[in-house]
């Protein structure tokens, strides 16, 4: 598919992340204005509430844009999703007879504050990157052997929806309990091995009932769109707590997502196959069409001492071993009901080369191999004041599909509240 031309000139640049081919969904505010739904087009945002009031976006008898989140559109179902995208393409496309009316509903994106684009109902994080899983095995257990179940099922755990925040929200260094290998007792204090995990998040748009398994085709139809996701990780807290039940406090203090939901329709031209299988999957996980996407990913790190961000890793979404549809299918197969607004983290996305590792745990090999930044500083894990940024772009024929940055600055830990006089 080539670039779709818009009368919004900035949307026609080959390297702009928000062309007419994209039309990602977010929530924004200007000044003291209440947050509202918007669609990014070039350097502008279409105010959906204003467009609905002006009669440009009429998708049913009831108003859908009178709330500051996209869950209502999700719950309206795939027919409404398709109708909305077709209508947006019509009014924002080159030659539109409704340009003047639409122009009145546009605001400059540079002056907007971006908010959480949807209400997260539940959050599940998976472990679907094979290279990451093998790297973690080598780091923690001395060899790349995978757990016996890893090549058969998408492994995941239920996380904290209350800790999911939009890009730009600072993250406080967590306090917690850790134990040094040679210590007789654990100790309490700030996390010393703070990390990121480069992930994509799939957003469930339509529900399935409790007790009703779904196929991978049904699961793919249920997905509304995708965001970048940073699963902040306190490695030392996690390392002490995770046996036998897995992550808890080491993952509960913050998960950042990018502010724009890129719809599945926008990503259709970039579908690609999952990697070859080492072991054949059980039939319920088989897919009738490619489940991954060709999306280029970056991790950037910027110390507080400089305005220069360093690219520390570059990889691709197609490195995953399991697709979001397979993850969603496995999540529901035992009878777990899924909701509109559920968020599924892909798991850390790493490639075979060190430059493609999607966590600092891998890049520094558990702190044993510091890596250099462009300003001459070195890091093993994240220091206070560091800003971590994830970026994603899918490169089309004369256009780019972008997600917007997923960024967060690390604030110092609070003083120990349990030792105050």
Among candidates 362, 288, 284, 278, which has minimal Cα distance to 321? 278
d(CA 257, CA 248): 19
d(CA 413, CA 41): 39
In angstroms, the Cα distances linking 83 to 79, 207, 264, 265, 277 are 6, 20, 14, 12, 37
Active-site residues, by number, are 132
Token couple for 242 = 């995770």
- 277 CB burial (10 A radius; 0-12, 13-18, 19+): exposed
**Sheet strands (E) in 43-174:** 44-47, 106-108, 113-115, 123-126, 156-158, 164-166, 171-172
Question: CB within 8 A of 270, min separation 6: which ones?
Answer: 293, 294, 295, 394, 396, 401
**Sheet strands (E) in 159-293:** 164-166, 171-172, 175-178, 187-190, 194-195, 198-204, 223-231, 233-234, 255-257, 262-263, 271-272, 292-293
Q: Which residue has the tokens 């279409």?
A: 46
Sign of CA dihedral 192, 366, 250, 27: positive
């Amino acid at each position: 598919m080539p670039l779709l031309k818009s009368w919004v000139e900035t949307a026609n640049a080959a390297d702009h992340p928000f062309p007419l081919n994209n039309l990602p969904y977010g929530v924004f505010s200007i000044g003291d204005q209440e947050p509202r739904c918007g669609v990014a087009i070039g350097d502008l945002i279409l105010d959906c509430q204003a467009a609905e009031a002006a009669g440009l976006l009429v998708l049913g008898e009831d108003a859908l844009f009178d709330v500051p989140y996209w869950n209502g559109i999700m719950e309206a179902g795939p027919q409404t999703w398709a109708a909305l995208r077709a209508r947006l393409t019509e009014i924002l496309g080159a030659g539109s007879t409704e340009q003047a009316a639409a122009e009145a509903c546009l605001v400059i994106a540079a002056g907007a504050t971006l908010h959480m684009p949807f209400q997260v109902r539940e959050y599940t994080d998976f472990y679907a990157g094979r290279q990451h899983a093998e790297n973690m095995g080598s780091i923690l257990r001395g060899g790349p052997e995978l757990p016996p179940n890893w090549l058969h099922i998408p492994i995941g755990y239920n996380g904290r929806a209350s800790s999911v925040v939009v890009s730009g929200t600072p993250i406080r260094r967590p306090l917690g309990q850790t134990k040094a290998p040679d210590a007789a007792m654990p100790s309490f204090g700030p996390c010393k091995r703070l990390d990121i995990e480069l992930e994509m998040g799939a957003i469930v748009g339509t529900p399935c009932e409790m007790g009703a398994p779904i196929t991978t085709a049904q699961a793919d139809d249920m997905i509304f769109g995708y965001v970048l996701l940073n699963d902040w990780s306190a490695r030392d807290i996690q390392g002490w707590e995770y046996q036998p039940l897995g992550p808890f406090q080491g993952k509960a203090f913050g998960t950042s997502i990018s502010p724009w939901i890129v719809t599945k329709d926008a990503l259709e031209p970039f579908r690609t196959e999952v990697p070859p299988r080492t072991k054949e999957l059980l039939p319920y996980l088989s897919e009738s069409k490619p489940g991954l996407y060709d999306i280029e990913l970056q991790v950037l790190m910027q110390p507080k001492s400089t305005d220069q961000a360093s690219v520390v890793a570059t990889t691709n979404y197609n490195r995953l071993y399991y697709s979001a549809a397979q993850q969603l299918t496995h999540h529901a197969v035992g009878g777990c009901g899924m909701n509109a607004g559920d968020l599924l983290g892909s798991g850390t996305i790493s490639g075979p080369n060190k430059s493609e590792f999607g966590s600092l745990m891998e890049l520094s090999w558990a702190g044993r191999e510091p890596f250099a930044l462009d300003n001459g500083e070195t890091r093993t894990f994240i220091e206070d004041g560091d800003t971590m940024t994830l970026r994603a772009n899918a490169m089309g024929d004369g256009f780019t599909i972008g997600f917007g940055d997923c960024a967060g600055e690390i604030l110092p830990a609070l003083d120990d509240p349990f030792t105050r006089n």
